Every structure is written in structure tokens, then in C-alpha cells.
Amino acid sequence: MNYRLIGKYMGHILLVEGIFLLPAIAVSAAYREPQSARAIAIAAIITLLPGILLSCIRSHRSISMSEGFVVCALGWVVLSLFGALPFYISGEIPRYIDCWFETVSGFTTTGSSILTEVENKSHGLLYWRSFTHWIGGMGVLVFLLAILPLAKGDGEPFNLMKAESPGPSVGKLVPKISATAKITYIIYFVMTVVMIAVLLLEGMPLFDAVLNSFGTAGTGGFAIKNNSIAAYPSQLVQMTIAVFMALFGVNFSVYYLMLSKKWKDAFLNEEFRWYWGIMLGASLLIAGNVFLKGFYPADFGQAFRDSFFSVSSVMTTTGFCTADFDKWPEFSRYMLLLVMCIGASAGSTGGGMKVSRVLLLCKHLRIQMCQMIHPRRVRSVRMDKRRVENSVMFGTTAYLAAYLIIMSCSMLIVSLDGKGFETTFSAVVCTFNNIGPGLGMVGPTGNFSAFSDLSKFVLSVDMLFGRLEIFPLLFLLSPEVWTRKQLKTRVVPT
């Protein structure tokens, strides 16, 4: 294990985090909040000092695939440990475990919160809380690859991007991985700015527009109002946020195809079509269910708007809400639970299993059933008319196995709190899939403050497992990775 190179990357991650804390100080100063400004400044200094020291480490070796996973997982843990300091030093969240939970929820774009009252927090800390969504949405390592020439060649950037990028496989928009990271972040930034501008035109205050855009772009969903987006009565504002949530749940490679004027390739993308089909289909089914059950008497339009907002929110794993869907009929609630697990597209800022993985698993199941009937027929899984490599299928099935095992173990531990099956089950599902609100006590109007410290720690680890798609964190926790000798060969993308 190349400890020097890992330490160097931790230093660069801390440097970036320390710099990102500076705008939060400016926000506190602008709103005349000296206590929070002082707390954030102290946190920035504590973050920058080890960052400067570690980034000075020199290493001439390139990074392997296993080291890429370790850098990714350890980087996110370090990011969260230091990112929690502003909340703790300011005293606005008195207990560090709660600060850790809130920060992990921010960086992993989960949006689950232990706060019972949001609007009494300082503007600077609310800014930092929402900005963690924007940083975590596309990934801090992807950001480093986009702005800093840290990695050597193209094999090292590939190993880092593969460790952090969501989805069953990593694709390159252009031949160089660093250029791919840069293009992705430019699209991400421009879409965020456009959303801020649209919300401002619709009459939302600047502070609210920026923070709600951070939460939407990162598909995180930290609300700055106690009633979430329901606090804004404008249907135009609510639908704008719903549409942008859905747009940020699309694979960013589709946007690159559109910018490259490859419209046919973009709209024929299999995951893209299924993503919109599932979202619109689930919205119509839920709207019909709540309308027929009398929740929206004589107003199907409002029923559809709230249903589409809720489906867009939970499927993209954002977590904003305009209605308390925990009070809806059983069919609607469990339909939302289903789309929570399916999640957004691979290569987006959304969480969940990803539509592409669900498609691959369904296709694989169908082929296995056909082979039972026709044993001599050889068939392979195809996506977008291309054969899916066996390594991708093995990785997908391994992901599903790990997904079920880790969630089952988490539910067993969290059940010790005795909060009931619905609350326990949905708490684990919504944290593991980086959604935010669940059902029962952790529904749209609830929070996670009632859980024990052990459960909060387990749920925060679930958030990391979900955001990093399991394997990087498993590598970090594996003794074999830390003790085995470094191989001379390196994994290079083909």
C-alpha cells in the first residue's frame, strides 16, 4: 500500500475543503453572525493546516485500483470528519455524533437530518450545510481531477474516477479521464447557475435560491425551511424544482451527447428512456391513487403535481417535499419506497441502485430463465445494442448481494432502538440509498434525532456505503488490502 501517495491525496482533499469553507465565512459576515463566522474560520484553519502538510508529501509511484478505492473511501471519511467541525465548534449542533451524521448526510447527498428546527440556524452554517450537497453531488475526487494535474497518465485518473463514480461501469466522454471530469463539472456548474437564475426570476430570495439549487443539483435535499419546499406556495417554484431534480438524475453523458448534437444517440439511450418512463408512470399511478382515495377531491392537477414532485424527489434521492406522503394510501407509499430503491441514472448525482443496474439484473434474469428452457442456446446481456462485459455483470450481481447483506445487518442493529418495523426499515433504506426522508418517524415531517448514537453511526456508515457504491468502503475496511504487498502491475483502462 502506497501510504505516502494516499497521504498526499488526503492533503489535497483537506486543502479543497478548507478553501470551500471560506465562502461560508463571508456569508456569516454578510449576515452579521460573528459567532458562526469565528467557528467556521477556526474549522477552516484546522482543516487547512494538515492539508498543507500532507499535500507536500512526494511520491513518484502511480496509484493502483485498490489504492484508488482506499483513497476514495478514506477521503470521504476525512472530508466528513473535518466538515463536521463548523457545526460542533459553533455549538449550534452540540454533540459531535450529530454533527458527523449531519455532515455525512450532506456530503453523501442523503439529506437525512437530526435537526428538529432548521430556521433558527445561522446563515453561514446553513450555507455550508447545503454546499456539502453540491460538493458531494459530483464527487470531490472528480473535482480534483478536473482542476488539478495530480494523477499521472490516464490509468491513475481512471482508477480514482472508477472508485468514486456511480453506476455499474465508468465511461469516458473524451479520451482523457481528466478532460471527462472537467466536462462533467462544467455541465454540473452551468445547470446549477441556470437553476439559480430561474428561481430568482420566479421571485425566490437570493440566499434561498442558491441553497435550494445546491440541494437540487447534488440531489441532496437539505431544506432551509421547516416545511421544506412546501414553504414556498408558488406552484411555479415547486414545479421548477421538481423538473430540475429530475434533470440532475439523468446520466451526464446524455447531456454531452446532446451538446455534441448526437440527439439520436441521446434519446435512444436505454437507461434514459426507462428513467423517464418509470418516473412518469409512477407519478401517474400515485396521482390516480391519491385522487381516487379522496386526498385531492376534484383537483387531479394538484394530485399529479404533488405526486410528480414526490416521485422526482425520492427517485433522484433528493428528499425535498411539498406534501406529507407518509399520510398517503399504502399503495402510494410503497410505490415511493420502490422507486427509492431503483434510484436515478448511473453517471448522475442521484443515488439508489441506479436504473441501469436494475435493467441489467432484469435482463440477466430473463436470459437465465431462457437458458433453463434452451440450455444449448448462448445469449448475452445487451445494453444500448452493445454486449455487456461479463465483468460488469459479475460486479452488478456482487453489488446486489452486498447491498442486501449490509442493509439486513444494518436493520438488525437499528432495530435495537425499538422504533417499529416501518421506521427501522425505511430509515435504513433511505440512508443506504441516499434519499433523506422515509416513512413513519423518519417521514417528510420527521427526523433522525430520536435514534441512539449507535444507530446514528450505523446509518451514517450506510450513507457512505450508498454514495460510494459499497466496494470502496469494503476495501477500506479489508485488512488484506492494507497488509498485502504492492503489485508491480497497474490497471490501465482499455
Looking at per-residue confidence, does 358 or 61 come out higher?
358
Q: Average pLDDT of the chain?
A: 86
Q: Over 50: is that where the pLDDT of 248 sits? A: yes
Q: What is the C-alpha to C-alpha distance for residues 334 and 339, in angstroms, rounded to an integer?
A: 9
Rounded mean pLDDT of 351-365? 88
Which of residues 190 and 479 earns the better pLDDT score?
190
Split at pLDDT 50, 70, 90, the class of 453 is: very high
Percentage of residues of the chain with pLDDT beyond 70: 89
Q: For 311, phi and psi rounded to 5 degrees?
A: -65, -45
Three-state DSSP at 15 gives helix
**How far is 161 from 288, CA to CA, in rounded Å?**
42
pLDDT at 485 over 70: no
The C-alpha cell of 367 is what? Answer: 436470459
What's the pLDDT score for residue 443? Answer: 87
Exposure of 57 in the CB half-sphere (CA atoms within 13 A) = 18
Between 389 and 96, residue with greater pLDDT:
96
Query: Burial, 356: exposed, middle or buried (Cβ in 10 Å; 0-12, 13-18, 19+)?
Result: buried
pLDDT tier for residue 154 given thresholds of 50, 70 and 90 = very low
Task: Enumerate residues 6+ apart whose C-beta is below 8 A from 117.
Answer: 226
| pLDDT value for 194 | 96
Q: How confident is the model at residue 366 (pLDDT cuts 50, 70, 90)?
A: confident
Cell numbers linked to 371: 437458458
Rounded CA separation 366/306 (Å): 35
What was the pLDDT predicted at 149? 54
CA–CA gap between residue 457 and residue 101 (Å, rounded): 7
Number of H helices, E strands in the chain: 22, 2
User: What pLDDT is recorded for position 488?
Assistant: 46
Average pLDDT estimate for 360-381 = 82
Q: How far apart are CA 463 and CA 214, in angstroms?
A: 19
Composition of the chain by helix, strand, coil, percent to 5? 65, 0, 30
Nearest to 13 by CA among 77, 99, 85: 77
Give yes or no for residue 490 having a pLDDT over 50: no
Confidence of residue 393 (pLDDT cuts 50, 70, 90): confident
pLDDT at 145 over 80: no
Over residues 135-158, the mean pLDDT reads 63
